[in-house]
Chain A
Amino acid sequence: MFSCADFLAEFGDYLEGSTKPGIKSCIEEHLRECRTCKVIVDSTSKTIRIVTETDSFLLPADDVEPIVQNVMSRVRKLKR
């Protein structure tokens, strides 16, 4: 019987889609029966989607531009 502890031990690989064959079916069977672990999977997957969205962290151009200008000024000095 696949326990919650077994599931958590495999959870990282499961999220990465790199679970070993055989284990994946045990996990999915466990998730059909265990609401707590299902909630963990769903909420963590949603979190990954939030973090993965390319514009989750928006850099205001006004803040970035001085940094880029600073970089340009520094590499120009190096060229001299």
Chain B
Amino acid sequence: MNSAIEQGALEKAVSTPGSQFVPKDRRSRLGNAQAFTDLIRLFEGEVYLLCFAVAGNPELAEEIALEATYRAFTARKHILTIEQLRSSLIGAVISTGRDLAGFVARSEAQFDVSGHGPSESLSPHSRSGFSPAALVNALLDCAPVERVVIVLRDTLHLTCSEIAGILNLPIEAVKHSLLTARLGICRMLFHAGDSQGRPLYE
């Protein structure tokens, strides 16, 4: 996660005047596979988490991550800024999820995720006292669209309007899914308690 490649790409990106733009030397070499993968490392955590939210299991998440990154690479000529690269990757994850996982942005669950236990490859940090597995379980217990909406809003920090645009949903449906997900995760964490089984909420 903190490799020299990632640090180098990040430093070049943020230290260039007009830092939201892909640095000129990198933009001109965006067709270069190494340059492209250096840049996508900036978003690897976000992309994988979103893939996990779309898929509901680590194996399918990896497939979606691969295909989505490939799709973003094929569309690289239209990418001029770091923000556009991020948007392109997010859009690619959603469209790939639709094609590979049958992800459809509706308000009800589209496929059963009850057979999947907590992912060992997606491990929540435990420093806040909550049970690591409980958070992943709570996320998996949400309907796919709710998982995706809460990750886009609360982890990737997109606005509800942006999410509505990406998922092609009315903003009220996004808000409804977001609230349902937040309350659902809250309920799951409440019942799970902290990592020692003590009440998480006073």
Contacts and interface: CB of A to CB of B under 8 A. Distances in A.
Contact of B1 (A16, A47, A52, A64): A64
A46 B33 CA distance: 42
Nearest to B184: A47
Nearest to B186: A47
Interface in A49-68: 50-61, 63-64, 67-68
A51 B201 contact: no
A6 interface: no
B123 A60 contact: yes
Given A68-B44, A71-B69, A71-B70, A57 B155 contact: yes
A46 B182 CA distance: 10
B interface, size bucket: 35 or more
A16 B70 CA distance: 34
A72 B37 contact: yes
Interface in A23-67: 39-40, 42-44, 46-48, 50-61, 63-64, 67
Contacts of B178: 12
Q: Is the interface of A mostly helix, strand, loop or mixed?
A: helix
B130 interface: yes
Interface string B127-149: 01010000110000000000000
Interface in B144-165: 150, 154-155, 157, 160
Interface residues of A, number: 37
B74 A51 contact: no
B121 interface: yes
B176 A43 contact: no
B179 interface: yes
B10 interface: no
B201 A12 contact: no
Interface of A: 11-13, 15-16, 39-40, 42-44, 46-48, 50-61, 63-64, 67-68, 70-72, 74-76, 78-79
Interface of B: 1-2, 31-34, 36-37, 40-41, 44-45, 48-49, 62, 65-66, 69-70, 73-74, 121-125, 128, 130, 135-136, 150, 154-155, 157, 160, 175-176, 178-179, 182-183, 185-186, 189-190, 200-201
Given A12-B175, A64-B45, 13 more contacts: A11-B179, A12-B179, A16-B160, A43-B186, A50-B135, A57-B123, A57-B135, A58-B124, A59-B48, A59-B49, A59-B123, A64-B1, A78-B73
